[in-house]
Amino acid sequence: MPIFFIQRQYLSALRFQFNGSRVSRGASCRVGTRDAEGKAVQANTCVNPWGPIVLFAGRSIPDTARAIAKELGLELSKAMVTQFPDTESYVLLQENVRGADVFIIQSTCAPVNETYMELLVMIDAVRRASASRITVIMPYMGYARQDRKATGREPISAKLMADLVTTAGADRAVSVDLHNSAIQGFFHVPLDHLTAIPAMAAELKKLSLIDPVLIAPDVGRAKLVEKFQEILHIPMAIAHKRRKGLDVTVTEIIGEVEDKTPVIVDDIIASGSIVHHIDALVERGARPEIYMAITHPVLVGKAVERLGHPALKMLITTDTIPIPPEKRSPKIRVVSTAPMLADVIRRIHTNESVSEMFAKLFEFPV
């Protein structure tokens, strides 16, 4: 028998064996158990082909990372993540990860280039430390809006970022409400595409809005709004806009909005130009009480100032990107994605279905 074939058999046997006994993938793994009072307790007693679960976090979303660890009943593993004086990123893992199932939590939000480099260096450090598997938990993916060539001689930067993450050594990735679902195909490893729609929809239900209507800010967001519809069972309308540089003009609203309470749905709020939709809706007879449900609060430039529009009552968003103190507003309500991300980490570690998380909510899970 050729030597390479023997080695392959040997490695395969190692992957499916642990402590000398053959186990099915994830069959005897407990993560995130709770005591009689409902408090999360440390539970990392796993007989798992990928080894014990280990959580690391970059510096982009520390509060969200800690909340995820708390949901799992685990502690974040220690790592030194810093920069040299010349701004080069530096990572030193301070715990053993040999043979471990490692999850790295890092949104690639502003400063985008810095958080991406930090993530890549962390992946490389974990890979060189002989981790069994590396999963990147990237709730917000920077460069996702550069997913196509809008004109000649442009890059497709989203594809480049996906290539960098996989080349660095990631075995799989997780993200939330990508700007374009097709970005999943940019990765050469499995990517689990999650959605924060259930969490934001639950928050909307608490408001008891008068005759609400969901608004897609453009045709491209119509599918996103349909997901909200499947949960909230309310009508929708679609806006048609024209963009020239940073200027946005809403030319048409397709659907009935008169005397209704609009809820504008989108995946990203960056410069806040979406507030132009508020004027267009009010001009067409909508109630001057506008709500927004937008997953990623990028909030650059005059975004916070624009959120001061008198007709805007509330922006419901998530913790995929931290909102610094100077950008916080009484109008902004943040819902946590930690329970969902903790659940997907547990499911990946124990080799359970991820799509079943949404199967009861959507006809076609994300």
Given 70, 159, 241, 331, the catalytic residue: 241
Range of the domain at 207: 198-335
Count CA atoms within 13 Å of residue 72 on its CB side: 30
Task: From residue 77, give the alpha-carbon distance in Å to each of 80, 102, 336.
Answer: 10, 10, 21
99 and 165 in a single domain? The answer is yes
Count the domains in the chain.
2
CATH number for the domain harbouring residue 33: 3.40.50.2020
Instruction: Single out the residue of 117, 118, 107 nearest to residue 65, CA to CA.
Output: 107
343 and 247 in a single domain? The answer is no
38 and 131 in a single domain? The answer is yes
Assess if residue 44 is contained within a domain. Answer: yes
Assess if residue 151 is contained within a domain. Answer: yes
Measure the CA–CA gap between 239 and 259, rounded to whole angstroms: 17
- Give the SS3 label for residue 366: coil
Task: Give residue 28's pLDDT.
Answer: 46
In terms of phi and psi (left: phi > 0; alpha: psi -120 to 50; beta: otherwise), the region of 26 is left
231 and 250 in a single domain? The answer is yes
8 Å CB contact between 257 and 286: yes
Measure the CA–CA gap between 38 and 242, rounded to whole angstroms: 51
26 and 174 in a single domain? The answer is yes
Assess if residue 163 is contained within a domain. Answer: yes
CB atoms within 10 A of CB 283: 10
304 and 350 in a single domain? The answer is no
Can you give the pLDDT of all 366 residues of the chain as single tens digits?
A: 444 333 333 333 333 333 333 233 344 455 555 555 555 554 455 557 889 999 999 999 999 999 999 999 999 999 999 999 999 999 999 999 999 999 999 999 999 999 999 999 999 999 999 999 999 999 999 999 999 998 999 999 999 999 999 999 999 999 999 999 999 999 999 999 999 999 999 999 999 999 999 999 999 899 999 999 999 999 999 998 877 666 778 889 999 999 999 999 999 999 999 998 999 999 999 999 999 999 999 999 999 999 999 999 999 999 999 999 999 999 999 999 999 999 999 999 999 999 999 987 776 666
227 given a catalytic annotation: no
Measure the CA–CA gap between 296 and 281, rounded to whole angstroms: 23
Instruction: Single out the residue of 218, 221, 215, 213 nearest to residue 195, CA to CA.
Output: 221
